[in-house]
Amino acid sequence: MSFLEKHQRNVDLTAFDGKIPVHYRYTLGLAGDKFFTAIKKDGKFVGTHCEECDVIYSPPSVYCERCFASLEDSWVELPSTGTVVAFTVVTEDDQGKELDCPQVIAAIQLDGADNTFVHRICDCCIEDLAIGAHVQAVFKPKKERKGTLDDIEYFEIAAE
């Protein structure tokens, strides 16, 4: 029975290598386009507001998932600060290899927003980090910004 056999090396079997030869180019979409353009041009966060549900989405959505209203014309500006809702300290990469420097990842609720945003926390803040900590986005210098998630260097503990 095959599950009792021990093939320690699968190259000992006649086998074929295969791969799916595709890669992807994703569009930002209608909401993503406005969100990342605001970050790139102005170093600001924007969101969309559903008045019916009184919910602010940032990262935004052009529709309200709760009531399906169009939010295409309901843009609001948000501060670049938020509250840590949860965090983790990552010590291994996706291949199980130890990282040179632990990486701090947090779920952040931007001030005024109802959903959360996942991003890095500066590792210099690790001592003071706690759920409920108030943090602030640090954007890359304007000329280095490309309109992507990496335009935000990280979040750090906000100077109150």
Partner 1 sequence: MSYRKVACVGAGITKFVRRAKETGRELAWEAAKMALDNAGMTLADIDCVVIGTAPDAFDGVHMKGEYLADGSGGFCKPVMRHFVGGGTGVFAPIHGWQHIASGKFETCLVVTEEKMSSCFPAPAGAFITIFDHTTEQPLGPTLIWIFALEMNRYMQRYGLTEADIAKVSVQNKLNAIDHPAAQLGAKITVKDVLESEVLAWPVKRLDISPASDGAAAIVLTSEHKARRITDKPVWVSGVGWALDTAYWATRDLYYPQYVEKAARMAYDMAGIREPNKEIHIAEPYDPFDYKMLHHMEGLLLCKRGEAAKLVADGVTARNGRLPCCPSGGALGVGNPIAATGLMKIIELFLQLRGEAGKRQVPGDPRIGVAQAWGDLMQVGTVVVMSR
Chain contacts with Zn ion (rule: CB under 5 A): 50, 52-53, 64, 66-67, 69
Which of 37, 41, 66, 118 touches partner 1 (CB under 8 A)? 66
**Alpha-carbon gap, residue 90 to 104, rounded angstroms:** 6
Name the residue nearer to Zn ion (CB basis): 12 or 54.
54
Q: Which is nearer to partner 1, 7 or 143 (CB)?
A: 7
Tell which one of 43, 44, 63, 85 touches partner 1 (CB under 8 A).
Answer: 63
**Shortest CB 146 distance to partner 1, Å:** 18
**Quick one: which of 7, 9, 25, 97 contacts partner 1 (CB under 8 A)?**
25
- The neighbouring-strand residues paired with 82 are 110, 135
On the 0-12 / 13-18 / 19+ scale of CB atoms within 10 A, 49 is: buried
Give the amino acid at 78. L
Per CB under 8 A, the list member of 1, 20, 130, 159 interacting with partner 1 is 20
Cα-Cα-Cα-Cα dihedral sign, residues 96, 98, 100, 105: positive
Q: Which residues pair with 73 in a beta bridge?
A: none
Question: Which of 76, 32, 85, 27 has the alpha carbon at shortest distance from 56?
Answer: 76
Interface contacts to partner 1, rule CB under 8 A = 16, 18, 20-33, 61-63, 65-68, 70
